[in-house]
Amino acid sequence: MKQPTRPIDSTDPLEFALVAKVLVVETRRRGLVVPGFRCPPRIVGVDRSLRRLDGHVTVAVRVKGRPLVAVVADMIEGVVVANRLVPPAADRLRRELWSAVASLRLSIPATDEPLVSTRRENAA
Reduced 3-state DSSP string for the chain: CCCCCCCCCCCCHHHHHHHHHHHHHHHHHCCCCCCEEECCCCCCCCCEEEEEECCEEEEEECCCCCCHHHHHHHHHHHHHHHCCCCCCHHHHHHHHHHHHHHCCCCCCCCCCCCCCCCCCCCCC
Q: Has residue 114 been placed in a domain?
A: no
Q: Has residue 123 been placed in a domain?
A: no
Identity at 92, one-letter amino acid code: R
Q: Has residue 109 been placed in a domain?
A: no
Q: Has residue 64 been placed in a domain?
A: yes
Q: Has residue 68 been placed in a domain?
A: yes
Taking alpha carbons only, the member of 102, 107, 114 closest to residue 67 is 107
Q: Has residue 72 been placed in a domain?
A: yes
Q: Along the chain (124 residues), what's the average pLDDT of each consecutive run of 10 residues?
A: 52 87 96 95 93 94 92 96 96 96 72 42 41
Q: What global pTM score does this model have?
A: 0.77
Q: Has residue 115 been placed in a domain?
A: no
Q: Which domain does 58 fall in, by range?
A: 13-102
* Number of domains present in the structure of the chain: 1
Q: What pLDDT was estimated at residue 10? A: 67
Q: Has residue 120 been placed in a domain?
A: no
As a whole number of angstroms, the longest Cα–Cα distance in the chain is: 52
Q: Is 69 exposed, middle or buried (0-12, 13-18, 19+ CB in 10 A)?
A: middle
Q: What pLDDT was estimated at residue 118? A: 39
